[in-house]
């Protein structure tokens, strides 16, 4: 079950965290994985680890906010393989602040990466995916469904992702392209560790515990847990699923009230 043998997959933001886990799980299940990331060290490391485990992955330096970069890479991949079967739009950046404290520069930066970056990848991949169908997974967030303090710009972008997912799912039904989104709660990634170290020096352990307990289940998620849901949604076993968002949040949305 959940085989991706002979599938060609693109995973953005695959150099670390959730994206790395998705790239690794997909490759382990037989996909040829193309990792798009700005982090050359992380992206190369992910690809090398996958190769050492006997599977296939390639790293491409890519700024998803730049359409020409995305289009060239996608065109080259499609020319090599004939089509693209899977796209996971995982690349994204975060920001802490409300509507007053968020600068125009930061707002524009998040929109460029989190929204335009997803658009750029969809715009480039869909013409090739239409040849024989495929599956798209967009990484949304619980913040698209509930209010969280000081996440104004980030929440705005993830709300856009939810709407984009529904639109693509509707528009490409006749092309046998499925499009769904995943909404993680807090997941323990290097980003979380860096955020805590930067904002709470000397209180790392205390803040980690506090953030972990905001999930009713009592801990943060693991990147591999998100990757396994992405695997299901991109597999043939999920062929009857499109236009849906899947919270994977330790009960955050439903059980915190």
154 a catalytic residue? yes
Strands of the 56-61 sheet, one edge to the other: 56-61, 32-37, 8-12, 86-89, 134-139, 177-184, 245-248
Count of CB atoms within 10 A of residue 170's CB? 11
Given the residues 154, 200, 232, 246, the one annotated as active site: 154
Block residue for tokens 């998620």: 221
Separation CA 91–CA 38 (nearest Å) = 9
Cross-strand pairs, 88 = 11, 137
The residues that are catalytic are: 154
């Amino acid at each position: 079950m959940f085989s991706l043998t002979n599938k060609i997959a693109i995973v953005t933001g695959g150099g670390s965290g959730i994206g790395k886990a998705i790239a690794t799980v997909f490759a382990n299940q037989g996909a040829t994985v193309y990792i798009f990331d700005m982090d050359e060290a992380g992206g190369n490391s992910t690809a090398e680890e996958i190769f050492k485990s006997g599977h296939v992955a390639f790293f491409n330096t890519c700024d998803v906010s730049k359409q020409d970069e995305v289009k060239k890479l996608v065109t080259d991949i499609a020319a090599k393989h004939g089509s693209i079967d899977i796209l996971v739009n995982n690349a994204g950046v975060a920001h802490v602040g409300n509507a007053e404290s968020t600068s125009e520069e930061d707002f524009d930066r998040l929109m460029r990466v989190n929204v335009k970056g997803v658009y750029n990848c969809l715009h480039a991949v869909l013409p090739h995916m239409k040849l024989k169908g495929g599956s798209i997974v967009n990484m949304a967030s619980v913040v698209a469904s509930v209010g969280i303090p000081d996440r104004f710009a980030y929440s705005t972008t993830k709300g856009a992702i939810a709407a984009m997912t529904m639109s693509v799912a509707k528009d490409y039904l006749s092309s046998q392209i499925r499009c769904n989104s995943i909404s993680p709660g807090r997941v323990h990634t290097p980003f979380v560790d860096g955020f805590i170290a930067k904002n709470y020096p000397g209180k790392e352990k205390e803040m980690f515990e506090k953030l972990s307990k905001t999930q009713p289940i009592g801990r943060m998620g693991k990147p591999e847990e998100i990757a396994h849901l992405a695997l299901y949604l991109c597999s043939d076993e999920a062929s009857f699923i499109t236009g849906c968002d899947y919270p994977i949040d330790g009960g955050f949305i439903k059980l915190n009230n």
